[in-house]
């Protein structure tokens, strides 16, 4: 990545964190200078000089820039570590406010409580990973997780599974790769096995198996307390992950899916039998 590309990328990220374009450009320029005047900032950022003063006032108010009241005025950015810490703190407080605001909204009473079962879809690896961890966190009795690819393994997932084990939840984890099985077995109090569902992996793309359908790769299969079923698929070309999940299925379907997920695990080793 060239210096100009890094500059543009940093500006873009700061805008995603709530800064306006001129504010982001001024901060990035100042982060590369010991200190600078409005003219120097304008020359290096293409921000009009009169707008530099507006932008730096905002940056000062947000704790990202310091001002030396001399003639001419000098500006300097706080250290990168300090700026990141400040931005993180500001956004974490907004997340807390958002949670309080949304949770305080009155719930609609139009929901059909007589629905036999529900199936919903979800897209995006981050959202799917978060939902996986949430569902594991709600488990009271059993979690059965089959990994179609070790790419979905993360420290957050390990932590969720470890917390579930500490609560006394029975963990069963299936993988397609023996080295992954050994790693999970080492780190978790779980029944870990090599799944015989080798069609879960994508064809020749590093997902850990050969697939009969080159357009399909299962990311994860999850069943929680024999009530909730969660399945994600990964596009082998784009890497995009999509998922479907549901609750309230008939007992017969749950039993079938549970048996399918345990393929490769000896019945005598299955804590759920």
Each residue's pLDDT, cut to its tens digit, for the chain (273 residues) gives 788 888 999 999 999 888 999 999 999 999 999 999 999 999 999 899 999 999 999 999 989 999 998 889 999 999 999 999 888 888 888 888 888 888 877 665 555 545 456 678 888 888 899 999 999 999 999 999 999 888 888 999 999 999 999 999 999 999 988 888 999 999 999 999 988 877 666 543 444 444 444 556 788 999 999 888 999 988 878 888 889 888 877 777 778 888 888 887 777 777 776
Task: Enumerate the domain spans of the chain.
Answer: 3-102, 118-269
Per-residue pLDDT, 29? 94
Coil vs helix vs strand at 45: helix
Q: Which sign does the torsion angle of CA 174, 131, 124, 118 carry? A: positive
Could you give the angle at which helices 80-103 and 21-31 cross, rounded to 10 degrees?
Answer: 150
How far is it, in rounded angstroms, from Cα 245 to Cα 238?
A: 22
Q: Under a CB-based contact definition with an 8 Å cutoff, are residues 218 and 200 in contact?
A: yes
How far is it, in rounded angstroms, from Cα 171 to Cα 224?
A: 10
| Cis, bond preceding 205 (omega within 30 deg of 0) | no
**Which of 44, 41, 72 minimizes the C-alpha distance to 59?**
41
Per-residue pLDDT, 119? 79
Q: State the DSSP string of 89-126.
A: HHHHHHHHHHHHHHHTSPPPS---TT-S-EEEEEE-HH
What are 247's strand-pairing partners? 118
Q: What are 39-54's pLDDT values in tens digits?
A: 999 999 989 999 999 9
**Which of 59, 71, 72, 69 minimizes the C-alpha distance to 26?**
59
Q: Which fold has domain 118-269?
A: Endonuclease; Chain A (3.30.870)
Per-residue pLDDT, 145? 94
Kindly report the number of other CB atoms within 10 A of residue 250's CB atom. 10
Structure tokens at 241: 């992950």
Kindly report the number of other CB atoms within 10 A of residue 66's CB atom. 15
Query: What's the chain's Rg over C-alpha atoms?
Result: 26
In the block, which residue shows the tokens 């999850």?
222
Instruction: Return the CATH class of domain 3-102.
Output: mainly alpha
How far is it, in rounded angstroms, from Cα 74 to Cα 16?
A: 27
Per-residue pLDDT, 55? 95
**Which of 152, 120, 151 minimizes the C-alpha distance to 243?**
120
């Amino acid at each position: 990545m060239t210096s100009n590309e890094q500059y543009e990328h940093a500006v873009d990220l700061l805008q995603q964190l709530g800064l306006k374009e001129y504010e982001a450009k001024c901060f990035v320029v100042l982060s590369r200078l010991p200190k600078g005047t409005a003219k120097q900032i304008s020359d290096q950022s293409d921000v009009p000089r009169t707008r530099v003063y507006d932008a730096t006032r905002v940056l000062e108010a947000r704790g990202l820039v310091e001002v030396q009241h001399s003639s001419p005025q000098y500006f300097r950015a706080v250290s990168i570590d300090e700026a990141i810490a400040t931005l993180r703190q500001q956004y974490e407080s907004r997340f807390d406010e958002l949670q309080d605001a949304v949770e305080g909204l009155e719930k609609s009473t139009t929901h059909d409580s007589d629905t036999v079962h529900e199936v919903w879809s979800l897209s995006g690896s981050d959202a799917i990973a978060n939902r996986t961890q949430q569902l594991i966190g709600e488990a009271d009795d059993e979690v059965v997780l089959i990994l179609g690819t070790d790419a979905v393994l993360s420290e957050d997932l390990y932590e969720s599974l470890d917390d579930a084990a500490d609560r006394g939840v029975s963990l069963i984890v299936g993988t397609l790769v023996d080295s992954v099985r050994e790693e999970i077995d080492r780190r978790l109090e779980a029944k870990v096995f090599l799944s015989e569902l080798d069609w879960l992996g994508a064809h020749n793309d590093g997902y850990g198996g050969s697939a009969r359908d080159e357009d399909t790769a299962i990311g994860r299969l999850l069943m929680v307390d024999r009530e909730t079923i969660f399945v994600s698929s990964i596009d082998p070309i784009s890497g995009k992950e999509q998922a479907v999940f549901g609750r309230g299925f008939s007992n017969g379907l749950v039993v079938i899916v549970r048996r399918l997920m345990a393929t490769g695990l000896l019945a005598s080793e299955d804590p759920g039998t």
